[in-house]
Amino acid sequence: MYKTSIRISVLACALAAATLALAGDDPGHERHELMEGVRDAAKPVGAMMKGEADYDQATLMTSLETFASAADQLGGLFPDGSEGGEAAPAIWEDRAGFEAAIAEWQDVTAAAIAANPATLDDAKPVVGPVFGACKNCHDSYRIEEE
Ligand code: HEC
């Protein structure tokens, strides 16, 4: 009993530290890292959709979960005063529109997860809107540097 509660409080500390790291004072760096994770998750999915890699349902589902988690975190990473980088001024000028773009991404990602597509033909119609949401948001809210 005693040991268990020590273990739980160690875990609670680790969780608190992780939360602090997420809410750190360099949101520009955090959203860059978050989107790099999204990019890495998107790569294998893009290859499958183009037929360059065999369809793998588990890989797709893992990537969709990464998108869902990123979408949940994204809105909190653009506080006032963190303007700059690839983040377009429109995020601060039209916060409602930006939040709507996040919500759209959450919705289509949740729908694709719920569909749990077993084949490439099943996946295409639900994954298409997920990538559409990336482009849709980037068109208005991201300044591409490359
Ligand atoms: C709701 C808006 C939104 C959605 C949806 C979105 N992104 Fe982004 N993305 C951004 C913003 C804003 C930035 C710039 C962040 C910054 O650098 O501050 C960005 C940056 C990126 C970058 C550059 C990372 C870096 O900083 O080097 C990549 C790659 C990227 N996004 C991929 C994706 C992919 C792939 C998807 C869909 C699966 C996606 N994004 C969905 C808003 C979005």
88 CA closest ligand 1 atom index: 12
pLDDT of residue 26: 87
Sign of the Cα torsion 146, 126, 53, 34 reads positive
**Domains of the chain by residue range:** 25-141
CATH topology of domain 25-141: Four Helix Bundle (Hemerythrin (Met), subunit A) (1.20.120)
CA of 144 to the centre of ligand 1 (A): 9
Residues 6 or more apart in contact with residue 7 via CB below 8 angstroms: none
Radius of gyration of the chain (CA): 18
Ligand 1 probe mutation, 35, 63, 99, most atoms within 8 A of CB: 35
Mean pLDDT of 55-64: 98
Lowest mean pLDDT among 10-14, 68-72, 108-112: 10-14
Ligand 1 contact, 127 CB (< 6 A):
no
Residue 145's pLDDT band, with cuts at 50, 70 and 90, is confident
Mean pLDDT of 44-71: 98
- pTM passes above 0.75: yes
Ligand 1 contact, 85 CB (< 6 A):
yes
Residue 16's pLDDT band, with cuts at 50, 70 and 90, is very low
pLDDT of residue 20: 47
